[in-house]
Amino acid sequence: MKARKWILAKHFEGVPKDSDLELVEEELPSLKDGEVLFEAEYLSVDPYMRPYSRALSPGSVMYGEQLARVIESKNEKYALGAHYLVRAGWRDRIVIDPDTPGGALGVSSVHSAIDTGSHPASLNIGILGMPGISAYIGLIKICDPKPGETVYVNSAAGIVGSVVGQIAKIKGCKVIGSAGTDEKCKWLTTELGFDYAFNYKTRDLNEALKESAPNGVDCFFDNVGDSLSTAIIVQHMNKYGRISCCGAISQYNDTTPPTGQLLYSPFVFKELKMQGFLFPSYAKHHQAMLVDLRKWVIEGKLKYHEDVVEGFENMREAFYGMLSGKYTGKVVVKATQATKLPAAL
């Protein structure tokens, strides 16, 4: 059977170019005992893929996770048609022995998908997957916001930011978000219940925060790591403020590290805490967080929007678009090569 994969032809330098990623076809081997043929249904594109790709040798398959279906199995634990989350990289089909642990990002390569009920199964790679759990970790484990506190999140209309803001509302906080278009801002306030949202491209950050957070910011969930992030830390954080560093998307395309000096004085005098985190380090909490996230989704307290890009061949376009802020909420790539299974399934 044929399969396709996206390989990193060259390390990204600055803004990613089309020639950096290459779509390649391959012939899959026939299955040995214990092996399973997974076929992608939904594939995720996430910001972390940009910096993590630096660790790949050119010619390697891009990092990534997918919601996949078993379409052939020589392992009795994996039934035909069953759904799994597979850390298989950017591939539309793969033959692996799923019981061999490990994986490029240090988590199990294959684990069961959760039942999303009346919601799309693709939530497994979105609000009920790594991005949703990351929002939960960074907000609850690092910022630990108290009712009545003010939470600010940037890239707020992205999947992580949108979950951060909504969990903060569930926790009784005042929530401010910024995003790159007026439409996204409108979605944040009218659909997701943010108290305030502003377009960072057209509004002055200091004015927007003076207006929306006259008493300062207690928790800052940072997805961006840009000069606006610095301005918030230096000028708007309250005493004992907490800053959660989830991502630094603004710095991922830099070819040289930003120069300049950390601005230590506010850390000392306001006793700020800034802490980064990565999803795998909180593995023992993932299941409990997922229970909460699923409950909130079912109760309608946690809303989501998915932008669906059709076709495995469009992963590169989806990835580059996501990095440039093209989408609202979670962007997923829907693989359209679906193999028909016997009717009995």
- What is the rounded CA–CA span in Å between residue 142 and residue 274? 8
Task: Please enumerate, as own/partner, the contacts of 98-101 that have beta carbons within 8 Å and a separation of 24 or more.
Answer: 98/36, 98/38, 99/34, 99/75
Of residues 244-303, which lie at the interface with a copy of itself (CB under 8 A)?
245-248, 251-252, 257-278, 281
In the block, residue with structure tokens 């379409």? 71
Q: What are phi and psi of 13, to 5 degrees?
A: -130, 115
Which residue from 47, 52, 43 is spatially nearest to 8, judged by alpha carbons? 52
Query: Which of 220, 312 has the CB closer to a copy of itself?
Result: 220
The answer to the question of residue 234 lying near a copy of itself (CB under 8 A) is yes
The answer to the question of residue 24 lying near a copy of itself (CB under 8 A) is no
Query: Residue 239 CB, nearest distance to a copy of itself (Å)?
Result: 9
Query: Which of 81, 240 has the CB closer to a copy of itself?
Result: 240
Q: CA 173, 179, 184: angle at the middle one, nearest 5?
A: 95
The answer to the question of residue 343 lying near a copy of itself (CB under 8 A) is no
Query: Residue 35 CB, nearest distance to a copy of itself (Å)?
Result: 33
Query: Which of 73, 134 has the CB closer to a copy of itself?
Result: 134
Which residue from 277, 212, 265, 266 is spatially nearest to 237, judged by alpha carbons? 266
Q: Which of 8, 139, 151, 233 is close enough to bind a copy of itself by CB under 8 A?
A: 233
The answer to the question of residue 227 lying near a copy of itself (CB under 8 A) is yes
Length of the chain: 345
- DSSP letter for 141, please: I
Query: Which of 186, 270 has the CB closer to a copy of itself?
Result: 270
Alpha-carbon distances of 164 from 193, 244, 302, 336, rounded to whole Å = 12, 11, 10, 31
Alpha-carbon distances of 204 from 161, 198, 207, rounded to whole Å = 20, 9, 5
Query: Residue 232 CB, nearest distance to a copy of itself (Å)?
Result: 10
| Residue 13 amino acid letter | E
Of residues 34-73, which lie at the interface with a copy of itself (CB under 8 A)?
51
Query: Residue 225 CB, nearest distance to a copy of itself (Å)?
Result: 3
Q: DSSP 3-state assignment of 217?
A: strand
Query: Residue 254 CB, nearest distance to a copy of itself (Å)?
Result: 9
The answer to the question of residue 118 lying near a copy of itself (CB under 8 A) is no
> Of the listed pieces 34-42, 145-153, 221-229, 327-335, which binds a copy of itself according to CB under 8 A?
221-229
Longest dimension (CA), the chain: 67
Query: Which of 275, 339 has the CB closer to a copy of itself?
Result: 275
Query: Residue 241 CB, nearest distance to a copy of itself (Å)?
Result: 10
Q: What are phi and psi of 251, to 5 degrees?
A: -100, -5
Q: Which of 75, 108, 189, 230 is close enough to bind a copy of itself by CB under 8 A?
A: 230
Query: Which of 15, 338 has the CB closer to a copy of itself?
Result: 15
Q: CA 79, 84, 87: angle at the middle one, nearest 5?
A: 130
- DSSP letter for 329, please: B
Query: Which of 4, 50 has the CB closer to a copy of itself?
Result: 50
Query: Which of 211, 240 has the CB closer to a copy of itself?
Result: 240
> Of the listed pieces 91-99, 159-167, 225-233, 293-301, which binds a copy of itself according to CB under 8 A?
225-233
Residue 187 burial (C-beta neighbours within 10 Å; 0-12, 13-18, 19+): buried
The count of chain residues that interact with a copy of itself, using the rule CB under 8 A, is 39
Query: Which of 109, 223 has the CB closer to a copy of itself?
Result: 223
Interacting residues toward a copy of itself by CB under 8 A: 51, 222, 225-227, 229-230, 233-234, 240, 245-248, 251-252, 257-278, 281
